[in-house]
Chain A
Amino acid sequence: QVQLQQSGAELAKPGSSVKISCKASGYTFTSYDISWIKQTTGQGLEYIGYINTGSGGTYYNEKFKGKATLTVDKSSSTAFMQLSSLTPEDTAVYYCARDGGWFAYWGQGTLVTVSS
C-alpha cells in the first residue's frame, strides 16, 4: 500500500535551517509528484510547492520562494524539503502529499518548532 513516511520532529533556533524527509513506498516513486503543505493554527493549510520526482523540476508558491527548497533522491524514493532562515513564524506541522490535484496520500506530518 502507498505510504509516505516523514522524519521526526525538529527543534531549531531562529536563523538556522532544517531538512525534512518524506520516504515513499508502495508505488513507483517517479510516477507522481510530491507536494509539501504547511499547517498552523492561525493560517490553516498553505500549499508550499511540489517537485517532479522524475525530472527534479520544482514549483513554489510565491510566499515560500527563498524559504523552502525541494529536492529528491530517486535511489531511496525520498523527497526532501529544506527550510532556511527560520523564524518563529515557521513553527508548524509540515506534510508531504502525493498526487497533483487532490491529495489522496499524506505523510504523518513533521512538527518544526523554532525557538531560541
Chain B
Amino acid sequence: IQMTQSPSLLSASVGDRVTLSCKAGQNINNYLAWYQQKLGEAPKLLIYNANSLQTGIPSRFSGSGSGTDYTLTISSLQPEDVATYFCQQYNSWWTFGGGTKLELK
C-alpha cells in the first residue's frame, strides 16, 4: 500500500498549530502510526492506531483520520519539535510515507 505525505517540507513558527497529512493508496482501517525522527536518531513512535498517543509523548501531539486520509497535529509548535515525521501503515504488511520535514520559520 503506497503512503503519500504532504507537504514534504513545512516551515512554521513557535506556537503555531501544525498539520501534517498522510494519504494511503487504499483503506487502511486506522492501522496507522506516526513517528518523529531527529537527525542522527532512530524514529520515535508518537501515535498508533491513528489516534492513540504513545506513553510519554506530549499531549500537544494528536492524530486523526479514517479510511485513506490521516493527519498528525501539533497544537502549539515547540523548538524541540523540529524533525522529520513519517507515517506508517500496518493494515497490509508494512509501508512508510516519504516524510515531512518540519523546520522553524
Question: Is the beta-carbon distance between B42 and A45 smaller than 8 angstroms?
Answer: no
A47 contact from B33, B48, B54, B93, Cβ within 8 A: B93
A107 interfacial by beta-carbon distance below 8 Å: yes
A102 to B47, CA, bound (A): 9
Q: Mark A29-45, 1 if CB is under 8 A from B, else 0.
A: 00000010000000011
Interface of B: prevailing SS: loop
* Tally of contact residues, A, Cβ under 8 A: 16
A102 contact from B33, B41, B42, Cβ within 8 A: B33
Interface size class of B (residues with CB under 8 A): 20 to 34
A80 interfacial by beta-carbon distance below 8 Å: no
Known: A47-B94, A104-B48. 8 other contacts (CB 8 A): A45-B88, A47-B93, A101-B31, A101-B90, A102-B48, A103-B35, A103-B88, A109-B42
Q: Looking at the assembled complex, report how far the CB atom of A81 sits from the nearest CB atom of chain B, in whole angstroms.
A: 16
B42 contact from A35, A47, A61, A108, Cβ within 8 A: A108
The A-contacting residues of B in range 3-39, CB under 8 angstroms, are 31, 33, 35
Give the B-binding residues of A (Cβ under 8 A): 35, 44-47, 61, 95, 100-104, 106-109
B99 contact from A44, A46, A95, A101, Cβ within 8 A: A44
